[in-house]
Amino acid sequence: MLGGCVLPGTSVIVMEKISTATQVIEAPLLPITIDGRELLVPAGTTIFDAARTYGIAIPTLCHQQNENPVGVCRVCVVDIGQRVYAASCVRQVEAGMKVATSREDVRGVRRTLLELLIADHPSPCARQQSTGDCELERLASQAGLMHSRFAPRPAPQGKDESLPAIAVDFGACILCDRCIRGCNDIRHNFVLARRGKGYQAGIAFDDNLPMGESSCVSCGECMVSCPTGALTNRKVIATDLGEGEILAVKELRALEVFADVSGTFLKLNSNAIRKRIFKAGEIICRQGDYGSTAYYIVSGTAEVFLSSRMGHVTTKDDKHGLFRKLQSSLVNRAQQPRADETNRPYIPIDAPVDLPYENPVAELEAGDLFGEMTCMNQYPRSATVRAKTDCVMLEMLRNVLDVLQRNKTFRSKVDKAYRKRALASQLRSIPMFSSVTPDFIAYLRDRVELRRYVPGQIICRQGDPSHSFFLVRIGFVKVTQSHPGGDLVLGYVGRGGFFGELSLLGEGIRTATCTALDHVEAMRIGSEEFRAMLERFPEVHKGLVEIARQRIQENRTRVSSVENVPVDSFLAQGLMEAQSLLILDLERCTRCDQCVRACAEAHDGVSRLIRDGLRWDKYLVATSCRHCKDPLCMVGCPVGAIRRRNSLEIVIEDWCIGCGLCANNCPYGNINMHPFKVSIEDPAAPGRQVAQVQTKATACNLCPDQEEPSCVYACPHDAAHRVNPRDFFSDLVRVADLPTGRASAD
């Protein structure tokens, strides 16, 4: 905010409005009929939302698509076969319900309601004159209402221009309460409220003060929420997104993607949206780059691909010198299978499609949105995108993307595109689901639900009944389990992962709490469909049972570790999360650095250990990968290239793009970026090979081809050891917890 005015692109919308205690309740699917169409919708869904999800439009004024309904305007009335018509925005569906939304008698009732509302509405109002999108006047025009036969009510107040940023016209107010809900429910400013009764009813600022004298902070949410010219902006301050053409509000609203977005919001944020034209072959964004925008393809097609060489870092013994020299190189999983090797056929990226592992290239088309995770969570670009034909795209900042994602019409389109194009590849990217047939995936398409969660939102809670299985499309989910003394992190689930199978395979009770770490999209498969899949495909059932067995065993091991070791001081140094520590006995260590040099010589000069770190009694915990049980390095990987083996050791996959985010996230500095000279196709000139230095993430792999790690082997004083911290330190911790205090090596 500057000078009391709203800054376009910065302060209009609050992003994280849902508290950490918020939880979306799971519900079974119910059969209903809308305008003769038989549909399946989750219990608890309103008729309005059910219709909008399937592309059936119901007009409304008081119910903005992204807020809780109140049912005060009644324009959304429908016939449900009862004595009176029902407001669809507040009436929930019931099994077997038959709904009529567009029959002549229903339209007649809506027309009368619009006549009553437009009777005292100035036409054209300030919003209609400014941006041409007064929702009341639009609905009245569609109904053929040029004027009303009802007498207008006397306006209790006129205009209020006491605030430099916002103009108020009480005569244009239709008492829809959208401004009140925007101010209170979304922004939590609690400035606006209702006042008076009957003809004297209206909105008020604080204790019925002029807006300029109230506690209003000029956030602009009331303007964005208002469907008429009752609240409009008086001044816009320009911002600059960069290259590209700034489109007028009318041009933006002519595009399908912005058809249902507030004209006031678009006017305030016109500089946060740019029209970009890319010629065929032109690079739109590059993998690994950090950005703050998302792209929507208006026309044309684009290629999305990984421009880095496929392969993970490995070492080869050349058996020269005092120490065993290991030459680092890049190999793929076909050349060097690893323990617990994943056979995922697809690579997850920040786009509506996944990339085939064997040929990581896919096509994006008109109507696709990509770059959401980069825009919303500031992650690196997961892939390079190049125009395949001449393309017209809209590049947008986070506040614009957030409004689109909150718009149910736009969300239903994205949902439909995902069901059509990505559901099958995401299911089949999980090896155990590879046997699921196309006809069953077609069966699932109309029965699954794409849900969105904001950072901190609880997706499901430990101990609650289980009704669904989740596939993660975007973002990261933290899985925790409650135990006496606190919560235990069981792991993180990223794009392409899944959760919820344990409870559905077991007693139907959630065994852990799953929370959105960032902006998450997850495909929800109901318990009925999940069980149908298990019955029809025994291979899926067998695979899930094995995964469940492994996860249960891992969880038990972790819980046992916590219960069997006094953890106060142990946890304070972060040792409980480690599985393998490199420790140096300081009474024997002479600081010769042979361990560091041996590691560097074994890995092309890129050492994977630093002789510094935490100290416990006479031991130094050196800086080298701990293979943590709560691996923060996994959080945010834009392509999901970091995983854990069943033994919980960290593995970096072939498709690592070398962005360095995992190295930045590691709180112990234990991941390094290893440079390699490679020959790859030039993204800007397809078909031409260019030499390039690329980096791949590496961490200590414990030198698996040797009897013991090089650092341990090289120590001339037997001071270096690789240990399991719980086993090695447990006796020391117990001694340290005694009243006499100090830990001893004896």
Residue-wise DSSP of 411-425:
HHHHHHHHHHHTHHH
**Pairwise pLDDT comparison (421 vs 10), residue with the higher score:** 421
CA of residue 293 relative to chain centroid, distance = 15
pLDDT tens by residue, 233-246? 875 444 455 566 77
Q: Residue 655: which domain range?
A: 568-736
The DSSP letter of residue 34 is E
Q: Is the pLDDT of residue 133 over 70?
A: yes
Residue 335 has pLDDT above 80, yes or no: no
Helices (H), 80-172: 104-118, 126-130, 135-142
Question: Which of 534, 561, 588 corresponds to the end of one domain?
Answer: 561
Residue 615 lies in a domain: yes
Task: State whether residue 697 is helix, strand or coil.
Answer: strand
Residues 574, 554, single domain; the answer is no
Question: Residue range 689-696: average pLDDT?
Answer: 81
- What 8-state DSSP symbol labels residue 23? B
The CB-side HSE value for 552 (13 A sphere, CA atoms) comes to 14
Which pair of tokens denotes residue 605?
């000069």
pLDDT category of residue 48 using cuts at 50, 70 and 90: very high
pLDDT of residue 75: 93
Per-residue confidence (pLDDT) for residue 44, from 0 to 100: 86
Residues 602 and 580 in one domain: yes
Q: Which residue has the tokens 């030039």?
A: 682
Using the 8-state DSSP alphabet, how is residue 310 labeled? P
Tell me what the mean pLDDT of segment 46-75 comes to: 85
Q: Burial code of 128-147, b = ≥16 C-beta within 10 A, e = fewer? A: bebbebbbbbebbeebebee
pLDDT (0 to 100) of residue 386: 94
> Is 542 inside a domain boundary?
yes
341-374 burial, b for 16+ CB within 10 Å, e for fewer? Answer: ebebbbbbbbbbbbbebeebebebeebbbbbbbb
Distance CA 204, CA 459 (A): 37
C-alpha distances (whole Å) from 664 to each of 156, 630, 633, 634, 645 are 59, 15, 8, 11, 22
87-101, 423-437, 638-652: which is most confident = 87-101
Of 13-27, 449-463, 697-711, the one with minimum mean pLDDT is 13-27
Looking at 164-173, 296-305, 532-541, 680-689, which range is the least confident one? 680-689
What pLDDT shows up at residue 696?
85
Percent of the chain with pLDDT over 70: 79
Tell me which range, 153-162, 295-304, 500-509, 549-558, is most confidently predicted by mean pLDDT.
295-304
List of long-range contacts for 687-695, beta carbons under 8 Å, 24+ apart: 694/308, 694/309, 694/658, 695/658, 695/660
Residue 502 in any domain: the answer is yes
**Residue 614 and residue 593 share a domain:** yes
Read off the pLDDT band of 80 (50, 70, 90): very high
- What strands lie across the sheet with 468-474, from one edge to the other? 448-453, 520-526, 468-474, 498-499
**Mean pLDDT over each residue of the chain, to the nearest integer:** 78
pLDDT at 745 over 80: no
Residue 130 domain-assigned?
A: no
Q: How confident is the model at residue 556 (pLDDT cuts 50, 70, 90)?
A: low
Q: Amino acid identity of 84?
A: V
pLDDT for 567 beyond 80: no
Which of the residue ranges 9-18, 139-148, 269-278, 346-355 would you say has the lowest mean pLDDT? 9-18
Query: Do 612 and 722 belong together in one domain?
Result: yes
DSSP for 350-400, written as a single string: SSSS-EESSS-EEEE-TT-EE-HHHHHH-PBP-SEEEESS-EEEEEE-HHH
Residue 390 identity: D
CATH label of the domain that carries residue 518: 2.60.120.10
User: Given 521, 538, 561, which residue is the final one in a domain?
Assistant: 561
533 and 630 belong to one structural domain: no
Beta strand 29-34 pairing with 98-99: parallel
pLDDT confidence tier of residue 305, bands split at 50, 70 and 90 = very high
Which is more confident, 376 or 27? 376
Same domain, 576 and 548: no
pLDDT in tens, 477-493: 988 888 765 677 777 88
Distance separating alpha carbons of residues 85 and 109, to the nearest angstrom:
9
- Same domain, yes or no: 575 and 553: no
Least Cα distance to 579 among 610, 598, 551, 554 occurs for 554
- Which residue type does 350 have? D
pLDDT for position 279: 94
Q: What is the C-alpha to C-alpha distance for residues 77 and 85, in angstroms, rounded to an integer?
A: 6
Q: Specify if 525 maps to a domain.
A: yes
Quote the CA–CA distance of 595 and 736 in Å, as a whole number. Answer: 29
Q: Is 661 inside a domain boundary?
A: yes
Do residues 516 and 453 lie in contact, with contact meaning Cβ atoms separated by under 8 Å? yes
In the chain, the number of structural domains is: 2
pLDDT score at 599? 77
* Partners of 622 in beta bridges: 613
Per-residue pLDDT tens digits for 183-239 = 888 778 889 999 888 778 889 998 888 888 888 877 778 888 899 989 988 754 444
Based on the domain organization, do 573 and 658 belong to the same domain? yes
Residue 455 lies in a domain: yes
Residue 174 has pLDDT above 70, yes or no: yes
Residue 35 CB coordination number (10 Å):
15
Pair (574, 546) in one structural domain:
no
| More confident: 371 or 22 | 371
For 182, the token pair is 């925007």
Q: Between residues 468 and 164, which one has the greater pLDDT?
A: 468
Q: Are strands 650-652 and 672-681 parallel, antiparallel or unpaired?
A: unpaired
Q: Which residues pair with 642 in a beta bridge?
A: 652
Q: Can you tell me whether residue 569 is helix, strand or coil?
A: helix
Look up residue 128 and give its two tokens.
């209609």
pLDDT value for 636: 77
Residue reference for tokens 């219990």 = 43
On whether the CB atoms of residues 663 and 672 are closer than 8 A, the answer is yes
Residues 634 and 703 occupy one common structural domain: yes
Q: Indicate the residue among 538, 561, 584 that finishes a domain.
A: 561
Q: Which of 613, 654, 644, 634 is nearest to 550 (CA)?
A: 644
Euclidean distance between CA atoms 374 and 293, whole angstroms:
7
Residue 302 in domain: no
User: Is the domain of 491 the same as that of 535?
Assistant: yes
Task: Tell me which H or E stretch contains 528.
Answer: helix 527-536
Same domain? For 554 and 574 the reply is no
Strand 283-285 to 202-205 pairing: unpaired
Q: Is 469 exposed, middle or buried (0-12, 13-18, 19+ CB in 10 A)?
A: buried
Neighbours of 402 (CB within 10 A): 22
Phi first, then psi, for residue 582 (nearest 5°) are: -95, 115
Q: Tell me the pairing of strands 384-387 and 361-364.
A: unpaired
Whether the predicted model's global pTM rises above the 0.75 cut: no
Percent of the chain, pLDDT > 90? 16
**Whole-angstrom distance, CA of residue 631 vs CA of residue 487:** 16
Q: Residue 72 in contact with residue 176, Cβ under 8 Å?
A: yes
The pLDDT assigned to 397 comes to 86
- Can you give 311-330 as a three-state secondary structure string? CEEEEEECCCCCCCCEEEEE
Q: So what's the pLDDT on residue 4? A: 32
